[in-house]
Every structure is written in C-alpha cells, then in structure tokens.
C-alpha cells in the first residue's frame, strides 16, 4: 500500500506524493545483511578496544549503501570501485588537510564535481559518486601526519569495504529485481494459459460464438489483470532501484513484449473465431501446440534469471512462423507473435543485456566508450554537467566555513547540502523536506534511546536493529530511511567521540540538516535553476529524433555519403538526449504521482533507444560490412521516417522495406526496426 504522511497533501507544488511510502519494497533481507556488515564490526571494535575498526564499520555501512543489486558481474565494478577510491580519498584528503585553505577548498570542490558528474554512467555510478562525496567530506575532518595513521585509516576503510563486499556478493546475496521478475513471469504464464485455452476451443467442433465470447471475456480479462499487476510491480521496483540500468531495460522490454504478444493472440483468436477450413485449423493447432510450452519456458527462465537452450527456443519461434505458412489469414498474427517472442528470448542472451557491450568487452574498449561519454556530456546542454557544477559551487562556501572554523559535527552541514542538492528545483525541495523531517524525527528517537543506551555495549547492541530497519526501509521511503539512519549515526558518533551526549549530537544533526538542506534549496534556485519539465513526453520526442539522426548518419557513412565527423556529432547528440531522458525518468520515478501510466511507456521507449544505439555501435565496429550497400538506403529512409513519426507521437509506421538479398548484416536493420516498432507501440499509450 502507499500512504502519504499527514499533511503531505498540503505541501506546495504538489510535492506531497514525493513523501509517499511503498512498504511493498521494504527488504528485511537487505536490512539484516547491512546490519551484520556494520554492527559486527562495531561490536568487534568495542570488544577488542580497537578504534581503527570504527573506520571499517563506516566503510562497511557505505559499501552496503552503494550496492546497486543485480548480477555479480554488474555489481562488482561499482562495489570494488567504491572500496578502492574511498580508501585513496580517505588517505589523500587526510594528507591534504594540512595544506592552506585556498588549496584544500578548490581540490575538495573538484572532487565533488567529479563525484556528481559520475551519474553520466548510470544509476550504479550515481550511487557510488554520491557516497564518495560523503567519504571526501568525512576525510577532511581528520589530519594525517604520518605513515602509521595513513595505514590505519586506509587499511580500516579498505578492510571494511571488502568485508561488506564479500558479504553482499558471495555470502548473503539479495535479489532486488526478483519481485518484478516474478510478476513478469506470471504475465508469460497467463499468456501460456491463454494459448492453451485457444487450442482447447479449436479442438471443439461445436465451438460457436458464445464459446468464443466466453473465452474473450474470461481469459482476456485474466491476462490483462496479470499484465497490469506486473506493470505495477516493475514500476515500483524501478522507483526504488532506478530506471537507468541494463536490468531495468531488460525487465521493461520483456513486459512490453508480453503486452504485445497478448495483442497478437487477440488478433489470432479473432481469425480463429471466424469460419475456417481444415488447413487453417491444422496450421493454428501446430502454432498453438508450440506456443504454449515456449511461453512457459520463457516464464520459468525470467523467474530463475536463466533462460537455457536459447538456440532451441529460437528454432521454436521459427517453427511457429512456418506453421502459419499454409494459412494466409494466420500469417500477420503469427509474424507479430514471432517478432515479440524473439525480443523476449533475445533479452536472455549476453548481447540482450547491453548491445555493443558484451560481458567480456576489452578494457581498452570500455575506456574508449567511457571517454566518449564524458566528451559528449562536456556540453552546457547536458543536465548532468550543470548539476555537477552547481554542486561544486554550492559546496565551496560550506567547505570554507567548516574547515576554517572546525567543529565536531560541522561537516554534517556540507554532507546535507551536497546530498540534498538535486538537478531540479522541485526534486531538491522535496528531498530537503524529507531529509529535514526524517532527521528531526530521528533525533527524537535518538533522544529516547539515550535513556536506555548508556554504555558502549548497549549502544553496539542497539545498532543492529537500527541497521536492519534503516536498510530494509530504504527502498520503501527515503524519509523513513532518514528517520532511522539518524539515531544510527548518532550512536556511531557517540561511540567514536565519547563525551558528547546523544541529545547534543541529535540536536546538532537536526540543526545542520536544516542549514544544509536550506542551502541546497537556495543553490538550486540561484545557480542555473532547472525547473521541472512539463512532460516526460518532450524528452522522449527529443531522444527518438536524435537516435533517428544517429542511425541515418551511420548508414550514410557506410554508404560513403557522410564522414566520420557527422557520425560522431550525431552519436554525441543521441547520447546527450538519452541522458536527459533518463534523468527526467529518474526524477519522475522518485516523484510517485498518478502519472505511472505515462512513465511506463516512456521507460519502454528509453530501453528501445538504448538497444538501438548499441546496434548502431555494433554496425560501426563491424569491419566485414561492404562499402557498396545501395539496398540500405531504403532502410535508412524508413528509419528516419519512423523516428520522425514516433517523435511526433504517431504510431502508424510504414511497412518495412525489403531486406537486401544475401546480406548477413541486414539482421541488424531488422533488430533496429523491431525496437522502433516497440517504441511506436509505447508512444501510442504515452499519448
């Protein structure tokens, strides 16, 4: 259920829904894992009287926060990058702290800029960048004078991060997308049951209009309800985990494919309900006999995250098309089924995760791709660049004040400022309200705990349930997370700096939360304010148009009609448009409002565009393509017309051109066409 806190409805600008709570996304397993990673190190520190282990506890806490979830091969780079960079920053900034203020502040602001700019690489990089900002601010609160201190702090941070990494990656894994995968798998099972019912009716000689009406009324309603439940589950997961990831794209495309398979089955049932001869019935029976187990296997593979025997499944899809060859009336729905089934099956292949970027991609190619992405976003039109500059400029006075007049907890103001600051005014304001409200309520909880937790042992024991609650509620509500993380931080601060009462620490944290959040709102209003876009639709249109230009430029280059410079400019524009669309989607998903029906189609378009860009990149790297490809001109023109139509909100695409005969590489064009047709179907629902 989702419930807004009391009084939220009266917040200005319709920000009340931003404070919404979705307890379905709470993860007790994630909370227990984070609690074990953090509280165990704190308890060991108190037992052995080793203050250095407190640095390890902090590192373990932050490492759990930066875990993006998903397959190990996608999580490992984020977690290990945070561990290594966090260690270097802890030591490097500790040494830097002895330098003059006019040196420290610019370096610290440059670090904030780099951490904020990291969001160009997606949700996981954004999480790592945000937490590295926290590491930088905390590192400047300590001065490292000798090698021993550097080894103690650096070793503690690296050890704590590695302990949390081992726990999260190997010992205790969680599956944040499992609820969404199960819901999508249920949709495919419902489609399999629909195919089974069609085959049952087809076998009846006396199946009249009433039988077909009953089938349409009962089976179609059940499938539609299942797909809509899956849509709700997927959107809830993406809101909690972020829409910009390969796992998110995979889930969205599979869901959209299921919806279109449903439409194709409706079309098939309409054909079968009309009078038909024995040949058509035999062809339809063969089609449905293959379709039901295929959909069941796809459902099982989605739920287990392992679709096996991909080549055999692809052969079954081809057999479905052949089954309809003898019946002209069956060919249109059969071909539509086959196209969407290939999408669903293909998402399990390595290239289905991220086209143009296979799992074993060479490091040099990864570096080139990263540099191209950085160059593309060093443009004032990039929202990420403007946000990173805004964060760096806003952090400068906070660093100057807290470093010139250091206090025990003054660094909290800088952390609150940078972490509250968001690319958009409305989102920054909402995040400030959540952070302030959560911190103040959490401070009251900390004050209550001070009555019972009067010894280091009692504080260490209290850390465990607080860690469980904080990390379990993090996907459900940022406000609740702040409410529970505040007493956790207060207890950790008391253990690290005895002599300050919990009441004093809680009061200081509340004060700095108000100051830092207020400065963040002021910064986003004064420094290049980015007001909330009227519609995600505008970003969708811009991204679709930019990708159409990119495809056209690449095909023109293959034909010798355009230079590499034109392709590079088109790729850069498409990359910036995709980043802006994904930033808009990320913001919209963090603001749960009655616009979910518009967000899901936009997410589908985004996923399709990312796959199109991957296919185009693969074309560019394919050295076997012929220089003379005249038949591709028609395809380039069709793609340009299709993207223009989709950008204008039209879904009525012209028929595909004929494939170049004997051209093995033409399959890339077909795959691009499938993604465009997927996007067109989504745009129809976008409105």
Residues 29, 178: Cα–Cα separation, whole Å: 13
Cβ atoms within 10 Å, residue 679 = 31
pLDDT of residue 662: 59
Residues 645, 648: Cα–Cα separation, whole Å: 5
pLDDT of residue 227: 85
What is the tens place of the pLDDT at every residue in 16-43? 334 455 565 666 767 777 777 777 777 7
Helix (H) or strand (E) holding 3: strand 2-3
- Residue extents of the structural domains in the chain: 19-175+372-526, 178-304+307-347, 533-686
What is the tens place of the pLDDT at every residue in 423-473? 877 678 878 888 888 888 877 777 777 667 666 667 767 777 887 787 777
Token digits of residue 457: 């042992």
Residue numbers in the chain where pLDDT is lower than 50? 1-19, 350-359, 532-533, 592, 594-595, 627-628
pLDDT of residue 610: 75
**635 contacts 654 by C-beta, under 8 angstroms:** no
pLDDT of residue 357: 46
User: Which top CATH class is 178-304+307-347?
Assistant: mainly alpha
Q: Provide DSSP, 517-579.
A: HHHHHHHHHHSS--PPPS-HHHHHHHHHHHHHHHHHHHHHHHTTSS-HHHHHHHHHHHHHHHH
């Amino acid at each position: 259920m989702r419930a807004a806190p009391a009084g939220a409805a009266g917040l200005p600008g319709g920000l009340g829904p931003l404070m919404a709570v979705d307890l379905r996304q709470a993860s007790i397993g994630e909370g227990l894992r984070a609690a074990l990673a953090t509280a165990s190190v704190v308890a060991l520190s108190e037992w052995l009287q080793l203050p250095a282990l407190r640095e390890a506890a902090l590192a373990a806490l932050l490492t759990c926060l930066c875990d993006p979830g998903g397959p190990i091969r996608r999580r490992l780079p984020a977690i290990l990058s945070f561990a290594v960079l966090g260690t270097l920053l802890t030591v490097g900034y500790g040494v830097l702290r002895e330098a003059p203020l006019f040196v420290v502040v610019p370096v610290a602001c440059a670090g904030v800029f780099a951490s904020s700019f990291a969001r160009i690489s997606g949700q996981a990089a954004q999480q790592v960048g945000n937490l590295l900002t926290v590491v930088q601010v905390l590192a400047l609160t300590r001065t490292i004078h000798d090698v021993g201190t550097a080894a103690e702090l650096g070793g503690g941070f690296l050890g704590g991060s590695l302990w949390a990494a081992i726990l999260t990656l190997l010992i205790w894994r969680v599956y944040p997308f499992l609820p969404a995968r199960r819901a999508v798998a249920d949709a495919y099972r419902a489609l399999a049951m629909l195919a089974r019912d069609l085959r049952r009716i087809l076998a009846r000689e006396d199946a009249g209009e009433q039988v077909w009406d009953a089938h349409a009324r009962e089976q179609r309603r059940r499938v539609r309800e299942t797909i809509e439940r899956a849509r709700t589950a997927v959107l809830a997961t993406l809101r909690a985990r972020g829409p910009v990831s390969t796992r998110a794209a995979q889930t969205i495309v599979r869901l959209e494919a299921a919806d279109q398979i449903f439409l194709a089955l409706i079309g098939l049932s309409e054909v079968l309900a009309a009078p038909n001869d024995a040949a058509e019935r035999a062809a339809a029976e063969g089609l449905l006999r293959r379709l039901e187990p295929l959909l069941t296997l796809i459902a099982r593979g989605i739920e287990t995250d392992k679709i096996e025997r991909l080549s055999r499944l692809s052969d079954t899809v081809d057999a479905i098309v052949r089954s309809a060859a003898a019946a002209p009336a069956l060919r249109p729905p059969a071909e539509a089924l086959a196209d969407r089934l290939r999408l669903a099956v293909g998402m399990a292949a390595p290239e289905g995760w991220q086209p143009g970027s296979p799992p074993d991609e060479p490091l040099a190619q990864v570096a080139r791709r990263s540099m191209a992405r950085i160059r593309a976003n060093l443009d004032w039109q990039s929202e990420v660049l403007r946000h990173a500059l805004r964060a760096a400029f806003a952090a400068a006075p906070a660093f100057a004040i807290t470093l010139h007049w250091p206090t025990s907890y003054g660094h909290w103001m800088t952390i609150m400022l940078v972490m509250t600051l968001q690319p958009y005014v409305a989102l920054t304001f909402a995040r400030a309200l959540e952070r302030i409200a959560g911190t103040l309520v959490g401070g009251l909880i900390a004050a209550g705990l001070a009555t019972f937790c009067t010894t280091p042992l009692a504080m260490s024991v209290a850390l465990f349930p607080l860690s469980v609650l904080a990390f379990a509620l993090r996907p459900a509500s940022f406000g609740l997370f702040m409410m529970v993380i505040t007493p956790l931080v207060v207890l950790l601060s008391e253990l690290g700096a005895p002599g300050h009462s919990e009441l004093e620490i809680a009061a200081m944290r509340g004060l700095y939360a108000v100051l830092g959040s207020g400065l963040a709102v002021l910064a986003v209003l004064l420094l290049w304010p980015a007001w909330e876009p009227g519609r995600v639709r505008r970003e969708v249109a811009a991204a679709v148009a930019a990708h159409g230009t990119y495809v056209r430029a690449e095909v023109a280059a293959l034909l010798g009609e355009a230079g590499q410079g034109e392709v590079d400019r088109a790729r850069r524009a498409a990359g910036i448009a995709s980043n802006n669309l994904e930033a808009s989607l990320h913001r919209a998903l963090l603001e749960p409002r009655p616009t979910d029906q518009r967000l899901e189609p936009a997410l589908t378009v985004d996923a399709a565009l990312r796959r199109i860009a991957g296919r185009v990149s693969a074309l560019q790297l394919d050295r076997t393509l012929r220089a003379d490809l005249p038949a591709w001109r028609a395809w380039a023109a069709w793609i340009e017309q299709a993207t223009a139509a989709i950008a204008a909100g039209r879904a009525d695409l012209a028929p595909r051109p004929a494939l170049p005969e004997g051209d093995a590489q033409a399959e890339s064009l077909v795959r691009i066409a499938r993604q465009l047709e997927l996007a067109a179907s989504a745009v129809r629902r976008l409105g």
